[in-house]
Amino acid sequence: RRTAWLAQRGYRVMRFRNHE
């Protein structure tokens, strides 16, 4: 799966950006 790192990084980035 190449969405593993994407989900792990995208998930944290999405939540991190949403926190702003």
pLDDT for residue 6: 74
> What DSSP letter does each residue of 1-20 carry, written as one string?
--SHHHHHHHHHHHHHHHH-
Return the residue matching tokens 């989900």. Answer: 7
Cα Rg of the chain (Å, integer): 9
Q: How far is CA 11 from CA 2, 3, 19, 20, in A?
A: 14, 11, 12, 15
Report the C-alpha gap between 1 and 15 in whole angstroms: 22
Q: Kindly give the confidence (pLDDT) of every residue in the chain, 20 residues in length, as a single tens digit, with 9 standing for 90 and above.
A: 677 877 777 777 777 676 66
pLDDT for residue 12: 76
Report the C-alpha gap between 5 and 20 in whole angstroms: 23
